């Protein structure tokens, strides 16, 4: 029996039932080739797949699991809430507790609206920005991903980048006509767009640390420059922190880089492994949202008590101050290990890390934008990925994604990774 025979059999069955055998495209391994592993269990820093292989998990469900799998406090909080009913479609006190935590964490957020996914958060802030400004234009950056709402599927990162699609079928030209795409970290390009049509632009929307083209930090002055341009033209600055919130900093990118957005998207960590996300920001803007204001947005499971409990328990653990530094230390050790191993075996590698997110790009040059990310050797990443997987380390199955660490990762996991690197880097 091969070590992934069960996964292969499950995938064959899945291909007849789910498009591509998956519920979300990147999971299908198209970016690296081969057959995806089916997962059975998570345990701290480990995933246990359908064949019983124990894999060091550097995906952490694409970001949410900053405490690792099945953290006892999260499990306990969720179980307690679940026994009293999982959804009421009515307000609950636990929403307020999580909202208070968010408001206390982010100086730019006065009020918050809970939704169920980052996609919903992205879609809703665009509607709100347009409703509040009476303008339709939207500036977004090449390779940034904000979920799969139609107006945002122009030059999007993540799975769209992995599959090499410039766009998506089914998105009409009219829907993206007001979306202006510029290169990340290119302030002059943004200046030019605003010089031409600044009075039509509702918002600049970005990941302040890009994570969906691999990790790309903002160049010095980039974020402050965007803030100044938005102010000069009466546009809003919207920072999508669905990935970076509680990840690049104990708070988020806006705190780490000291920039004040008008609106913010949150997701991933905020749901503690359950479907919860949020958007929030300036009080006057949030009061434009229904039922107080004219911008409609709603959700059957929004503010779901089980998801709120998981998020709250996660943020409670983070607030004690030990978990984030632990995840950050592990990421720093991983970064150093990757650099040293690459140097030793003579493979050009640029490791970009901000806090608990990092990406090894197979190139010798710094990656400042999506064009740079695409210029890196994605085929080599695929070979690296499979060699690491064979050695028991689960990396993101795409060269255009971030790896994530958790507070549960420790010395044993680091050792296993470091031992696998020389062989995998030269695969
Ligand atoms: C993951 C992600 C989203 C989409 O969130 P989903 O919950 O997958 O819909 C949006 N923006 C960013 C920056 C993300 O990383």
| Domains and their CATH numbers in the chain | 5-70+321-425 (3.90.1150.10), 72-319 (3.40.640.10)
Cα(347) to ligand 1 centroid in Å equals: 32
What 3-state class would DSSP assign to 61? helix
Atom of ligand 1 nearest to the CA of 122: 10
User: Rounded CA gap, 379 and 395, in Å?
Assistant: 15
pLDDT at 160: 63
pLDDT at 174: 85
Answer yes or no: 268 catalytic. yes
Which positions ≥6 away from 70 have C-beta within 8 Å?
42, 43, 44
Atom of ligand 1 nearest to the CA of 275: 7
User: Rounded CA gap, 227 and 88, in Å?
Assistant: 40
Task: Specify whether the CB–CB gap between 355 and 403 falls below 8 A.
Answer: no
- In terms of DSSP H, where are the helices of 134-203? 159-162, 173-176, 187-197
Q: Please list every protein residue whose CB sits less than 6 Å from any atom of ligand 1.
A: 117-119, 122, 145-147, 207, 211-212, 240, 242-243, 267, 277
Cα(342) to ligand 1 centroid in Å equals: 31
Closest CA relative to residue 215, chosen from 90, 379, 399 = 399
Please list, residue by residue across 192-202, b when 16 or more beta carbons sit within 10 angstroms of its beta carbon and e when fewer do.
ebbeeebebbb
**Residue bearing the CA closest to ligand 1, atom 8:** 118
Atom of ligand 1 nearest to the CA of 120: 9
Cα(39) to ligand 1 centroid in Å equals: 21
Atom of ligand 1 nearest to the CA of 62: 1
Cα(232) to ligand 1 centroid in Å equals: 29
Atom of ligand 1 nearest to the CA of 117: 7
Q: Rounded to the nearest 10 degrees, what angle do helices 323-345 and 411-425 cross at?
A: 30
Cα(267) to ligand 1 centroid in Å equals: 7
pLDDT at 2: 76
Closest CA relative to residue 161, chosen from 352, 366, 363, 376 = 376
Atom of ligand 1 nearest to the CA of 240: 13
The active-site residue out of 49, 140, 142, 145 is: 145
Write out the chain's pLDDT in tens, 427 residues: 579 999 999 999 999 999 999 999 999 999 999 999 999 999 999 999 999 999 999 999 999 999 999 999 999 999 999 999 999 999 999 999 999 999 999 999 999 999 999 999 999 999 999 999 999 999 999 999 999 999 998 876 666 655 554 578 888 888 888 999 999 999 999 999 999 999 999 999 999 999 999 999 999 999 999 999 999 999 999 999 999 999 999 999 999 999 999 999 999 999 999 999 999 999 999 999 999 999 999 999 999 999 999 999 999 999 999 999 999 999 999 999 999 999 999 999 999 999 999 999 999 999 999 999 999 999 999 999 999 999 999 999 999 999 999 999 999 999 999 999 999 999 9
With tokens 């070979």, the residue in question is: 383
**Residue bearing the CA closest to ligand 1, atom 11:** 146
How would you list the strands of the sheet with 111-115, edge to edge? 111-115, 277-281, 263-266, 236-241, 201-206, 137-141, 179-182
The active-site residue out of 51, 140, 268, 328 is: 268
Q: Which of 64, 147, 270 to mutate to test the pocket of ligand 1 (most atoms within 8 A of CB)?
A: 147
Cα(213) to ligand 1 centroid in Å equals: 13
Which positions ≥6 away from 326 have C-beta within 8 Å?
407, 409
pLDDT at 143: 94
Cα(345) to ligand 1 centroid in Å equals: 35
Answer yes or no: 145 catalytic. yes
pTM of the model: 0.96
Q: Which of 59, 63, 119 to mutate to test the pocket of ligand 1 (most atoms within 8 A of CB)?
A: 119
Closest CA relative to residue 143, chosen from 130, 131, 160 = 160
pLDDT at 162: 54
**Residue bearing the CA closest to ligand 1, atom 15:** 243
User: Rounded CA gap, 396 and 167, in Å?
Assistant: 22
Task: Specify whether the CB–CB gap between 333 and 414 falls below 8 A.
Answer: yes
């Amino acid at each position: 029996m091969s070590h992934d025979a069960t996964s292969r059999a499950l995938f064959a069955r899945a291909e007849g039932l789910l498009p591509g055998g998956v519920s979300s495209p990147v999971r299908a391994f198209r970016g690296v080739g081969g057959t995806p592993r089916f997962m059975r269990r998570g345990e701290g820093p480990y995933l246990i797949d359908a064949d019983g292989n124990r894999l060091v998990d550097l995906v952490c469900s694409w970001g949410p699991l900053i405490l690792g799998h099945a953290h006892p406090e999260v499990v306990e909080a969720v179980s307690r809430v679940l026994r009293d009913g999982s959804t009421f479609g009515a307000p609950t006190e636990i929403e307020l507790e999580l909202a208070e935590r968010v408001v206390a964490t982010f100086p730019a957020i006065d009020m918050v609206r809970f939704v169920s996914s980052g996609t919903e958060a992205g879609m809703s802030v665009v509607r709100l920005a347009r409703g509040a400004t009476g303008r339709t234009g939207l500036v977004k950056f090449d390779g940034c991903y904000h979920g799969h709402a139609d107006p945002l599927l122009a030059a999007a990162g993540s799975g769209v980048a992995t599959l090499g699609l410039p766009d998506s079928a089914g998105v009409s030209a009219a829907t993206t006509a007001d979306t202006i795409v510029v290169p990340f970290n290119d302030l002059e390009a943004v200046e030019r767009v605003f010089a031409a049509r600044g009075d039509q632009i509702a918002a600049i929307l970005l990941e302040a640390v890009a994570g969906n083209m691999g990790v790309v930090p903002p160049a010095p002055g980039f974020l402050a420059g965007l803030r100044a341009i938005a102010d000069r033209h009466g546009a809003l600055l919207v920072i999508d922190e669905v990935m970076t919130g509680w990840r690049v900093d104990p708070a988020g990118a806006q705190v780490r880089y000291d920039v004040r957005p008008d609106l913010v998207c949150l997701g991933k960590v905020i749901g503690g492994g359950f479907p919860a996300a949020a958007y929030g920001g300036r009080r006057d803007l949030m009061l434009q949202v229904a039922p107080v204001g004219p911008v409609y947005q709603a959700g059957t499971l929004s503010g779901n008590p089980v998801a709120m409990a998981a998020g709250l328990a996660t943020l409670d653990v983070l607030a004690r101050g030990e978990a984030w530094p632990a995840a950050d230390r592990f990421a720093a050790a991983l970064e150093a290990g990757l650099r040293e191993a690459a140097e030793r075996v003579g493979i050009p590698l640029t490791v970009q890390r901000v806090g608990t997110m990092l990406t090894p790009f197979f190139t010798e040059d710094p990656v400042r934008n999506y064009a740079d990310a695409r210029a890196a050797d994605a085929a080599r990443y695929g070979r690296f990925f499979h060699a690491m997987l064979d050695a028991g380390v689960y990396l993101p199955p795409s060269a255009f994604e971030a790896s994530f660490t958790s507070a549960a990762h420790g010395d044993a996991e680091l050792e296993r990774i470091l031992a696998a690197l020389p062989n995998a880097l030269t695969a």
